[in-house]
Structure 1
Amino acid sequence: MELILILLAVIGFIVIATTKFKLHPFLALISAAFIAAFAYGLPADSIAKTITSGFGGILGYIGLVIVLGTIIGVILEKSGAAITMADSVIRILGDRFPTLTMTIIGYIVSIPVFCDSGFVILNSLKESLAKRLRTSSVAMSVALATGLYATHTFVPPTPGPIAAAGNLGLESNLGLVIGVGVFVAAVAALAGMLWANRFKDVAPDNIDEAHQELNQDWKALKESYGKLPTAGQAFSPIFVPILFICLGSIAKFPSYPLGQGIVFDVLAFLGQPLVALFIGLLLSIRLLKSDDKAEEFGQRISQGITSAAPILLITGAGGAFGAVLKATELGSYLGETLSSYGVGIFMPFIVAAALKTAQGSSTVALVTTSALVAPMLAQLGLDTEMGRVLTVMAIGAGAMTVSHANDSFFWVVSQFSRMSVGLAYRAQTTATLIQGVTAMALVYLLSLILL
């Protein structure tokens, strides 16, 4: 019992430090690692080594993948590729199902682009479609936000799911994580869209001049990017790497469906996440627009590294925290205790949901929870490849439950959508609750079938 009380106290410290005292999650997690190490009685001369090895170990596996994915996202965002993606979806789906169209646009764009940035970029498109199709912009906002949110928490190469997969030992099998994540995210996005449809007749209730200025005309926004990339140029930097990663995973199935010859060797090499995303980075060079492409490329890389740095630090700190927990008896004790209660796959969801709701960041919830549950996977009956993948999905479901006032994405959605806080809680926050619970129900069903 003492082991659990110490764990609850450490988690409480992380929550209070990041919410009340506004401590950066990196420092909060490193501090938590030291506190846990002393509280659990680890030898004093091994604490620093355990923390540094945990920090470096996770970044050695997944750090470069996070950096490359972030740089690709920055290039796609700055080049207008997200605009091209949105236009491509509209051409395919037409105007018949406006909320479905917005959901699919968000679902695709948020794979390479952070959901906050994606919403800002696509806001004027959302407003334009709402006016043209005579649909409430509140419903369109929730549809777009929940579509963006779904892939943000479930599908690599978004940094949060990548970091969680790395913590759980899946860095060499991201293809399976992507495959399952795409499916779970689609169901979560559909749940969000169905909730959005309840607000088709609800008008924004926070309209003033400041909010009006946020809504730039979609045509003017497109023109501000100059010549937009083609659909092939826009989609290839993200979907070619995903294809290679998935093919690499298929090639390495125990049955070797593609044989063990030259095809296997090529796909095994190209399917490594680092190699696949490096190819995606090379493909993104075609999106550069300035006359001095070398200089522009350097600027985009610098911007990507700047964006990736906090995520890398949080991911490394989560690895350090996880290494400390692995060095204690907590994993076996907590695993056995929870197994006796039949919690199983719900345990990662509950922890991630508590962390997300308390401190606001989905990435912090994904990293911290994955580090926390990694030592106890065997006792929870999840110590298989598919068990680990479904654990990532359960953590992702928790990491979207719920987005409210302590989450920057909540304020992006509410302010750009001209929603009061009350309406945003009813529309957006409730939508994320429904998404998380729906996704977790699906993960539980998958665990009954696949485990």
Structure 2
Amino acid sequence: MDEGLRMALGLALGLVILVLMITKTKIHVFLAVIICSILIGLFGGMGQEDVIASITKGFGNSLSSIGIIIGFGVMLGKLLEMSGATRVMANTFIKIFGKNREEEALAISGFVTSLSIFCTSGFIILAPLMKALSKKTKKSVVALGIALAGGLVASHSLVPPAAGPIGVAGILNVNIGQFMLYGTVLSVPIILVSLIYGKYLGRKICQIPDGEGWTREYEPGQAQAEPEAAAADSDALSISPLMAFSPILFPILFILLKTGLKSAGVENGVVSLLGQPIVALALGLLIAIYGLMRRFGKSDTLNAMEEGLKASGKLMLLVGGGGALGMIIQNSGLGEYIASNIIKTSIPPLLLPFLIAALLRVAQGSGSVAMMTAASVVAPMIGTLNLNPVFAALAACIGAIPFSHFNDSYFWVINESIGISDTREQMRVWSVTTTLSGFAALAVLLVMNHFLG
């Protein structure tokens, strides 16, 4: 059997086994992901030592970029909740955007945030606000979470200065101004689909934060009395909206400022340091500790943060497991096999970077790797294929959106943050959303290419 075909069959078989282990056995999802990674690596022809090394490297790489942020994020979320700041933020959002526009507000917030920070980090930072709005309005956290995640992934995937699009722009040497303009236009169908589908699924899965857990006893959008709501609102009255938002707002502002100065060619050591996501979130945590928790003692504050950290363990393992699976597939050579075989087909030129990115995305999980690999593959062929480089770049970026699943850390962050543990529901929440959004954006790109390409 051809080695490439064997690797592809190994991937398909491994993913089937993964789904069966998660849905039909008592095996924990983290263990299932690691077992699946080993099977795919061995079936794909990798040596035993290479398999273990890839799993270790993939696990470590994922957590090296997001582990500290997850830890800081869950601690911050617990402090925002305990202090009453989340209630103040929810009330403020409702006043600014009006009732029944919470999804739109979160989508816009996510879009702006992810211009300068990875969507995974952005979701963790904004998750407390999402939960507060769900608890306040009794709207399903599923609808709000999909809206927020859709806004984040739109700019993260399509609009410089986000890292992936910047990399693609550099590989294909495209005009950044045009890329930003068209990328913003193509973000609109992604956000619209996320909003429409999110609201639809929110009616099917009406899940609301309830103390330390979740409840599905509410009807969609139907507010009900909460036992301690009056007392909590009374405590929150001492917190101004500016103070409530500061632990989230200041990190985002410093990250945006760092990105803006860097784009303008201006170097500022202080801003550069404070604009690093880890440092920025640490600053937000300090603001919450000394600004929001003044009426609480040292013991209460430390206990709240440690309680938050206990909840982060599972999320870190799942994120690391997804990274391990992605690294196995990447190191096995499957990505190169997929890309080289697509080139041999006679598909329409603009679909070439899209399909390469989409298959790589499904195979190894990382959207940034998928879009930049696709761009690298088609770069030498741009002239021969008579493609507009900007639209080719956008096609590669859009291809990195569809069908996010178990090997994508963002998939786990979203589902864990909104309390979705059933595998079928997890895929409905984010795999379906990204697939619908990606193909909607592709349809708009094909129309744009017809008239402007």
Which range, TM-score by smaller chain?
0.5 to 0.7
Per the TM alignment, residue 234 of structure 1 is displaced from its structure 2 partner at its CA by 1.8
* Counterpart position of 1:259: 266
In the aligned structure 1, how far is the partner of 2:276 from the partner of 2:446?
29
Q: Does the 8 Å contact 1:75/1:287 carry over to 2?
A: no
Aligned residues: 380
* Counterpart position of 2:209: none
In the aligned structure 2, how far is the partner of 1:294 from the partner of 1:382?
57
Per the TM alignment, residue 317 of structure 1 is displaced from its structure 2 partner at its CA by 1.8
Q: Identify which of 325, 328, 333 aligns with 1:324.
A: 328
* Pairing 1:242–2:249 present: no
Q: Does the 8 Å contact 2:72/2:281 carry over to 1?
A: yes
TM-score (norm 2): 0.63
* 1:230 aligned partner, one-letter code: S
TM-score (norm 1): 0.63
* Pairing 1:103–2:114 present: no
**Residues 308 and 338 from structure 1, CA distance in 2 versus in 1: closer, same or farther, beyond 3 angstroms?**
farther
**Residues 347 and 287 from structure 1, CA distance in 2 versus in 1: closer, same or farther, beyond 3 angstroms?**
farther
Per the TM alignment, residue 48 of structure 1 is displaced from its structure 2 partner at its CA by 2.2
Correspondence 1:12-411 to 2 at 5 A: 12-21=16-25, 23-94=27-98, 98-101=99-102, 103-104=104-105, 108=109, 121-123=132-134, 125-126=136-137, 144=144, 146-151=146-151, 188-191=190-193, 193=195, 211=218, 215-217=223-225, 221=229, 223-225=231-233, 226-228=235-237, 229-253=239-263, 257-260=264-267, 263=268, 265-286=269-290, 288-289=292-293, 291-341=295-345, 342-346=351-355, 368=365, 370=367, 373=370, 376-377=373-374, 381=378, 398-399=403-404
In the aligned structure 1, how far is the partner of 2:378 from the partner of 2:106?
37
Per the TM alignment, residue 380 of structure 1 is displaced from its structure 2 partner at its CA by 5.0
Structure 2 unmatched runs, 5+: 114-121, 157-161, 169-180, 207-215, 346-350, 381-388, 406-410
Q: Percent identity?
A: 23
Q: Does the 8 Å contact 1:150/1:189 carry over to 2?
A: yes
Q: Does the 8 Å contact 1:124/1:216 carry over to 2?
A: no
RMSD: 5.4
> What SS is found at the alignment partner of 1:216?
coil
Q: Does the 8 Å contact 2:252/2:280 carry over to 1?
A: yes
Q: Does the 8 Å contact 1:51/1:320 carry over to 2?
A: yes
Q: Does the 8 Å contact 1:69/1:277 carry over to 2?
A: yes
1:29-53 superposed Cα distances (whole Å, 9 cap, x missing partner):
2112211221122223333233222
* 2:303 aligned partner, one-letter code: Q
> What SS is found at the alignment partner of 1:299?
helix
1:385-434 superposed Cα distances (whole Å, 9 cap, x missing partner):
x999997876555449xx9xxx789998xxxxxxxx9xxx9x99998876
1:177-232 superposed Cα distances (whole Å, 9 cap, x missing partner):
xx999997776444455678999xx9x99xxx9648x9433796253252243211
Per the TM alignment, residue 269 of structure 1 is displaced from its structure 2 partner at its CA by 1.7
**Residues 107 and 333 from structure 1, CA distance in 2 versus in 1: closer, same or farther, beyond 3 angstroms?**
same
Per the TM alignment, residue 333 of structure 1 is displaced from its structure 2 partner at its CA by 0.9
1:328-378 superposed Cα distances (whole Å, 9 cap, x missing partner):
2212111222344545335655787x89xxxxxxxxxxx845599489556
Per the TM alignment, residue 240 of structure 1 is displaced from its structure 2 partner at its CA by 1.5
**Residues 151 and 73 from structure 1, CA distance in 2 versus in 1: closer, same or farther, beyond 3 angstroms?**
farther
Q: Does the 8 Å contact 2:89/2:244 carry over to 1?
A: yes
* 2:91 aligned partner, one-letter code: D
* 1:280 aligned partner, one-letter code: G
* 1:5 aligned partner, one-letter code: L
Structure 1 unmatched runs, 5+: 128-136, 157-163, 171-178, 356-366, 413-420
1:217-254 superposed Cα distances (whole Å, 9 cap, x missing partner):
3796253252243211222212211222222233334x
In the aligned structure 1, how far is the partner of 2:434 from the partner of 2:155?
17
